[in-house]
């Protein structure tokens, strides 16, 4: 098989959550363990950091990988979903796994893996572990796919666990209350492994405290360690000072990920770095500074307040649930523009009654859908949006919607693209 044949096999033959939703989600670690057994259990020979959370886990994982690279560690990074290329999911020091390695892996293990009947995500995660072990990474940052307790990635025993936050998403699979969702995320907390909690919530923090006590794990709330004295998100950068509990201040720090919602992620990452220092990792203030300053160049992160064009300004962002969109909308309100245009699409399992009320009512909407079965029909989205005062036309594809927005917009206008990771993927 060539590379395209290999991708067709992975995308079309294997149950894939991003395409079909909950039917592809397997609440069991048996398959992943079986796949790793075929691979001689690469997870046992890799040091890892495990990152879970409703929002921010992707940005947090990339920032952490960036600062580890700055500290000289050969760093693996496993994230999902991808935006442009499947290989974005698996990187070492920012470099994607090669097409040849993907082809060779599928050719070699297709037959024994098919006997296990894995999902797309299980297969992909096994590939990442094999790749990281083969190339002898010093440490790998592993982002969970969905939940934590029964997520395929939860076969690892990490150096450090991180839970960014808990919000309303995937309630049909993770639970219909925040404590239930937190219980699933808390499943990544392992015996005697420290855990950093990125955001305090009175409904969920006791869940983490209970789990940490059961596993004798040191629990650290990020906001009790570091605070940002001010935070200003400009065109392409965010600037801030970091203040520590002991009274120390790191002045004039910069992050190349704009967006006010990155504040909590930065606090989480700095706290995580401090915990790694306690574990013996040789990480300095300079490494942390450079790490958060060069996230995009070090890891090639896409889709976070991603500027696609100027005049008119076009920005895409992958925020897609209630909490994520709340921060994105706040960022939109800070932009200066004559008219706001929004290219929006969502997936079928999205809680529209929570998401749609957040969106600006003064914008012109271009309702569309991504090219996957899980996408919500654009006319159905339009009808639901109308109930919340959001008005606009429908378009059969993301490309058509973006072209229509660009044709309607003046140079002083602002075009936002989002609502779903997959809308952003097609736009980029």
pLDDT value, residue 176: 67
pLDDT value, residue 179: 85
Q: Which CATH superfamily is domain 306-427 in?
A: Mur ligase, C-terminal domain (3.90.190.20)
Q: Could you tell me the two tokens for 275?
A: 């915990």
Q: Could you tell me the two tokens for 15?
A: 């149950």
Rounded mean pLDDT, 315-324 = 83
pLDDT value, residue 20: 45
pLDDT value, residue 12: 78
Is 70 exceeded by the pLDDT of residue 17? no
- Give the separation between CA 340 and CA 195, rounded to whole angstroms: 41
Sequence-ordered alpha helix ranges (H) in 143-261: 171-174, 178-185, 205-214
Question: What is residue 328's three-state secondary structure?
Answer: helix
- Give the separation between CA 125 and CA 118, rounded to whole angstroms: 11
Kindly tell me the sign of the dihedral angle through the C-alpha atoms of 357, 330, 378, 53.
negative
- Give the separation between CA 355 and CA 291, rounded to whole angstroms: 33
208: CB partners within 8 A, 6+ apart: 163, 182, 186, 189, 195, 197, 219
C-alpha separations of 386 from 157, 357, 420 in Å: 48, 11, 19
Output phi, psi for 251, to 5 deg.
Answer: -90, 160
158: CB partners within 8 A, 6+ apart: 47, 48, 49, 50, 142, 188, 190, 193
pLDDT value, residue 168: 61
- Give the separation between CA 303 and CA 116, rounded to whole angstroms: 34
Average model confidence (pLDDT) for the chain? 91
Q: Summarize pLDDT for 121-178 with one digit per residue, the tens.
A: 999 999 999 999 999 999 999 999 877 888 899 999 999 999 998 876 545 556 568 8
- Give the separation between CA 331 and CA 419, rounded to whole angstroms: 14
pLDDT value, residue 147: 76
pLDDT value, residue 322: 79
Q: Summarize pLDDT for 96-123 with one digit per residue, the tens.
A: 999 999 999 999 999 999 999 888 899 9
pLDDT value, residue 158: 98
Cβ-in-10-Å burial (0-12, 13-18, 19+) of 420 comes to buried
- Give the separation between CA 374 and CA 346, rounded to whole angstroms: 9
Q: Summarize pLDDT for 357-385 with one digit per residue, the tens.
A: 999 999 999 999 998 888 999 999 999 99
Q: Summarize pLDDT for 34-56 with one digit per residue, the tens.
A: 999 999 999 999 999 999 998 88
Residue % of the chain over a pLDDT of 90: 71
Q: How confident is the model at residue 75 (pLDDT cuts 50, 70, 90)?
A: very high
Rounded mean pLDDT, 387-399 = 96
- Give the separation between CA 48 and CA 142, rounded to whole angstroms: 7
Mean pLDDT check: name the lowest of 8-22, 55-69, 112-126, 291-305. 8-22
- Give the separation between CA 105 and CA 417, rounded to whole angstroms: 35
pLDDT value, residue 320: 73
164: CB partners within 8 A, 6+ apart: 51, 52, 53, 54, 55, 56, 57, 60, 198, 199, 264, 265, 268
CATH class entry, domain 3-299: alpha beta
CA angle 239–245–248, rounded 5-degree value = 60
Is 70 exceeded by the pLDDT of residue 14? no
Phi/psi class of residue 220: alpha, beta or left (left: φ > 0; alpha: ψ in -120 to 50)? beta
Is 80 exceeded by the pLDDT of residue 26? no
Q: Summarize pLDDT for 225-276 with one digit per residue, the tens.
A: 999 988 988 767 899 999 998 889 999 999 999 888 899 999 999 999 999 9
Rounded mean pLDDT, 207-213 = 96
Q: How confident is the model at residue 348 (pLDDT cuts 50, 70, 90)?
A: confident
- Give the separation between CA 154 and CA 166, rounded to whole angstroms: 18
pLDDT value, residue 173: 56
Domain-by-domain residue ranges, the chain?
3-299, 306-427
């Amino acid at each position: 098989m060539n590379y395209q044949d290999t991708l067709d096999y992975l995308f079309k033959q294997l149950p894939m959550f991003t395409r079909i939703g909950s039917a592809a989600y397997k609440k069991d670690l048996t398959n992943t363990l079986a796949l790793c057994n075929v691979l001689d259990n690469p997870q046992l020979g890799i040091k890892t950091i495990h990152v879970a959370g409703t929002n921010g886990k992707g940005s947090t994982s990339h920032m952490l990988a960036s600062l580890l690279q700055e500290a000289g560690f050969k760093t693996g990074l496993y994230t999902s979903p991808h935006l442009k290329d499947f290989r974005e999911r698996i990187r070492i020091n920012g470099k994607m796994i090669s097409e040849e390695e993907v082809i060779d892996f599928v050719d070699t293990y297709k037959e024994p893996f098919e006997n296990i009947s894995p999902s797309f995500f299980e297969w992909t995660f096994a590939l990442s572990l094999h790749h990281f072990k083969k190339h002898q990474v010093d440490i790998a940052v592993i982002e969970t796919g969905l939940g934590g307790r029964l997520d395929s990635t939860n076969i690892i025993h990490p150096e450090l666990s991180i839970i960014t936050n808990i919000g309303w998403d995937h309630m049909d699979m993770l639970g219909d209350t925040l404590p239930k969702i937190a219980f699933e995320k808390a499943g990544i907390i392992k015996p005697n492994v420290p855990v950093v909690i990125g955001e305090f919530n009175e409904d969920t923090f006791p869940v983490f405290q209970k789990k940490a006590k059961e596993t004798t794990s040191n629990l650290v709330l990020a906001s009790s360690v570091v605070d940002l004295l001010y935070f200003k998100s400009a065109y392409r950068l965010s600037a801030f000072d970091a203040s520590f509990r002991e009274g120390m201040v790191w002045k004039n720090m910069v992050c190349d990920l704009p967006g006010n919602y990155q504040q909590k992620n930065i606090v989480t990452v700095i706290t995580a770095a401090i915990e790694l220092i306690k574990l013996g990792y040789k990480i300095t203030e300079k490494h942390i500074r450079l790490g958060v300053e060069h996230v995009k160049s070090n890891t090639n992160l896409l889709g976070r307040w991603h500027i696609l064009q100027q005049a008119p300004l076009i920005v895409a962002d992958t925020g897609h649930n209630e909490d994520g969109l709340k921060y994105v909308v706040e960022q939109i309100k800070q932009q200066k523009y004559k008219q706001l245009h929004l290219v929006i699409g969502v997936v079928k399992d999205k809680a529209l009654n929570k998401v749609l009320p957040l969106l600006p009512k003064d914008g012109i909407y271009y309702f569309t859908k991504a090219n996957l079965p899980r996408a919500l029909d654009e006319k159905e989205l339009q009808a639901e949006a109308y109930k919340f005062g959001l008005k606009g036309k429908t378009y059969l594809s993301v490309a058509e919607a973006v072209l229509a927005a660009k044709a309607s917009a003046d140079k002083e206008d602002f075009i936002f693209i989002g609502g779903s990771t997959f809308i952003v993927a097609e736009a980029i």
